[in-house]
Structure 1
Amino acid sequence: MSDAGRGRTVQALDLDTNYHDQGTGAPVVLLHGSGPGVSAWTNWKRVIPVLADEFRVIAPDMAGFGYTERRADLAYDMKLWVKHLIGILDALGIGKASLIGNSFGGSLSLAAAARFPDRFERIVLMGTPCDKFAMTPGLRAGWDYTPSRDAMRQAMVHFPYDPAFITPELVEDRYQASLIPGAQEGLRKLLAKPAEEGETILSGIPESVVAGIEHPTLVLHGREDRVIPVEMGIRLARAMPHADLHMFGKCGHWVQAERFDPFVELARKHLRGGA
């Protein structure tokens, strides 16, 4: 099993927390999504060095993911992840940071900004749900996954618009991450169990909550996202008082991979304050 995703370790919420830390500018925390083989490294390894030429970029494995310590006594929910995120900032001596959240990481960004508004500056959301929506086949695939390279490739077909983005390297990276002891068992604890019949209704951060988040926010969403429908991004942008929306055509759930250059350009501009 590859250890490519191992970075540094910090104690946060009494967990040995794996994180990556590059650059020396204003702090920006990259929050990964969920799903089989997801970690800070598999989500962000191309983005970290590019943004680190201007910002201090911190990408942690949140509780229950990647190489961060797993504990059987923890109940994984958004309250825990928010506490873990604040614990990471405290342990690193960061009073205030901006956030880039991918999917689950976007929901965590919203929950943290709503609960601790003074700890955050600006927000970038990618493929982020809002309020209630039906479980998609892409999310269902995370529950059904059993570790193998073929199964990983099949689980990933729902994510990009262009299947060429599912490279052998990406499959291998995420397959290896899915072999971390406890990873898939932990993922099933984090995900909602699909209903045996009919739709499974999932909940993002309620619209009434996001409507009270005052942070300048950039909402990015792929028009052809089959994991978190684009209507979620539109709903977020309408509800948040200081949000701009950029919809990418011919793009699925992996904005940072499928539209890497414009993603970096838009994120930089937003994080600088729109200058």
Structure 2
Amino acid sequence: MNNPEIGKNIVAANIETNYHDLGDGYPVIMIHGSGPGVSAYANWRLTFPSLSENFRVIAPDMVGFGFTERPEDYDYCMDNWVTHIIGLMDALDIKKAHLVGNSFGGGLAIATALRYPERVNRLVLMGAAGTRFEVTEGLEAVWGYEPSIENMRKVLDIFAYDRSLVTDDLAKLRYEASIRPGFQDSFSKMFPAPRQRWVDALSSSDEAVRSLSNETLIIHGREDRVVPVSSSIRLSNLILKSQLHIFGCCGHWTQIEQNSRFCKLLIDFLNEDSPA
């Protein structure tokens, strides 16, 4: 049986990289979050159909996550994740792209735009890290996950405002993903306690964020228990060319809990003055 989480494979920045490449048009690179057992497909699968009708959608498993290579003694840090994103763009011969970042991926999208401004067009930041905030109980639980179906159920309950989305089948599926060979080994190395330092490590300084000239769409669920909505409000105050959309009755899973509205927001925003 084919696993839909496994897409294409390419060497990017010397890393064997699993990625999904759908549709045609201007490239949009979608960067997943940092939950246990996460993959690009698990994070973005519900957005692929509508977004790929409008753009070329590229969703990689970042090094340390999903089905991308996990080199021994790899230093999981922002500089190396940025290098991986740029390496993927180089390998695919993409000179410039829109970046969409979820949570951890939002911090990475910001860092990439700051280090390589000539490679990044528009930014979409969803429930994004990238600015300093006090680590939440929810994020402590997510990064401190120890594999069990019960613990995975607790983590998924933190992500979703609508608990009906968190079924026993989903908890079992995500638990099984989290215990695939190498998955928990790399995950446990990334964000060990004390975890405030990793929130800070994913952040860019206010001065740097203020220097961003990218048109930026910021999206957040008002009831997000992982990354506080105040973080996105702060980003919107720092980024000159930004707009902020807050969904009520929505947690950290905006792209799932508000899927059709989320996709419409992205399509409308990214289609404005879209380059040929």
Distance 2:168 2:21 in 1: 27
- Aligned residue in 1 for 2:194: 194
* Cα distance, 1:169 vs structure 2: 4.3
Contact between 2:106 and 2:130, CA under 8 Å: does it hold in 1?
no
Contact between 2:108 and 2:130, CA under 8 Å: does it hold in 1?
no
- Aligned residue in 2 for 1:266: 265
Contact between 2:125 and 2:216, CA under 8 Å: does it hold in 1?
yes
Q: What amino acid is the match of 1:267?
A: L
- Aligned residue in 2 for 1:67: 67
Distance 2:58 2:233 in 1: 28
Q: What amino acid is the match of 1:27?
A: P
Residue 243 (1) aligns with residue 260 (2) = no
- Aligned residue in 1 for 2:107: 107
- Aligned residue in 2 for 1:20: 20
Q: What amino acid is the match of 2:213?
A: E
Question: Equivalent residue of 2:159, what SS?
Answer: coil
5+ unaligned residues in a row in structure 1: which ranges? Answer: none
Question: Equivalent residue of 1:158, what SS?
Answer: helix
Q: What amino acid is the match of 2:258?
A: R
* Cα distance, 1:242 vs structure 2: 0.5
Q: What amino acid is the match of 1:64?
A: G
What is the count of residue pairs matched by the alignment? 272
- Aligned residue in 2 for 1:211: 210
Q: What amino acid is the match of 1:218?
A: L
Runs of 4+ more than 4 Å apart = none
* Cα distance, 1:106 vs structure 2: 0.5
- Aligned residue in 2 for 1:148: 148
- Aligned residue in 2 for 1:182: 182
- Aligned residue in 2 for 1:225: 224
Contact between 1:22 and 1:52, CA under 8 Å: does it hold in 2?
yes
Distance 1:140 1:78 in 2: 19
Contact between 1:130 and 1:207, CA under 8 Å: does it hold in 2?
no
Distance 1:40 1:92 in 2: 17
Distance 1:86 1:201 in 2: 22
C-alpha change, 1:135 and 1:113, in structure 2 (3 Å) is same
* Cα distance, 1:73 vs structure 2: 2.6
Q: TM-score, normalised by structure 2?
A: 0.93
Identical columns (%): 46
Distance 1:139 1:183 in 2: 18
Is the helix fraction higher in 1 or 2? 2
Question: Equivalent residue of 2:82, what SS?
Answer: helix
- Aligned residue in 1 for 2:138: 138
Contact between 1:82 and 1:112, CA under 8 Å: does it hold in 2?
yes
Contact between 1:25 and 1:54, CA under 8 Å: does it hold in 2?
yes
Distance 1:181 1:101 in 2: 26
Residue 8 (1) aligns with residue 8 (2) = yes
* Cα distance, 1:166 vs structure 2: 1.3
